[in-house]
């Protein structure tokens, strides 16, 4: 089962929160993070009431196309029904503290094709990932789940 779930996982990385921007909104912070290997940068708007972060926090981040543990595509069942799968069956979301659903809307090449930048919107909360082409290429899909937890 776990092998199939990994097929739905497009990206998985540990990050450290390096900076939190001055708040422009009451409930939203923009955090800037660096991956554990130093190759990937992430800027993420988070709802700080639901998932407060501090500088120095370590985050485990997964981007997936499905919340189903067996990797079943959500378009076969509808993403809003994820919590009702099999009458309350466990989902990938159960393992994380902060989960969003959004759309990847843009890619930019950087550093002579060695790095790319991926932009995603989660209902207006934005995320950008800047890292090696090989690491971020699997994200060339339309809709994804962002799953985050503190480690």
Q: Is the confidence at residue 62, as pLDDT, over 80?
A: yes
Per this entry, what is the length of the chain? Answer: 151
Interval 14-25: pLDDT, tens: 999 999 998 788
**Residue 72: predicted pLDDT:** 81
**Residue 1: predicted pLDDT:** 33
Beta bridge partners of 104: 120
Kindly report the pTM of this predicted structure: 0.87
| Residue 115 tokens, joined | 């790095």
**Residue 128: predicted pLDDT:** 98
For the chain, the distance separating the N- and C-terminal CA atoms, rounded to the nearest angstrom, is 24
Q: How far is CA 140 from CA 82, 95, 133, in A?
A: 23, 25, 11
């Amino acid at each position: 089962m776990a092998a199939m779930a990994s097929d739905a996982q497009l990206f998985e990385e540990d990050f450290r929160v390096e900076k939190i921007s001055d708040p422009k909104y009451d409930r939203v912070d923009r955090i800037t993070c660096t991956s554990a290997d130093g190759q990937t940068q992430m800027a993420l708007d988070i709802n700080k009431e639901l998932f407060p972060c501090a500088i120095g926090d370590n985050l485990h981040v997964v981007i997936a196309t499905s919340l189903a543990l067996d990797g079943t595509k959500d378009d076969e069942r509808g993403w809003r029904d994820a919590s009702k799968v099999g009458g309350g069956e466990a989902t990938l979301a159960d393992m994380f503290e902060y989960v969003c659903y959004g759309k990847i809307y843009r890619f930019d090449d950087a550093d002579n094709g060695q790095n790319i930048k991926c932009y995603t919107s989660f209902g207006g909360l934005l995320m950008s990932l800047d890292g090696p082409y090989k690491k971020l290429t699997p994200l060339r899909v339309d809709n994804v789940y962002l799953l985050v937890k503190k480690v």
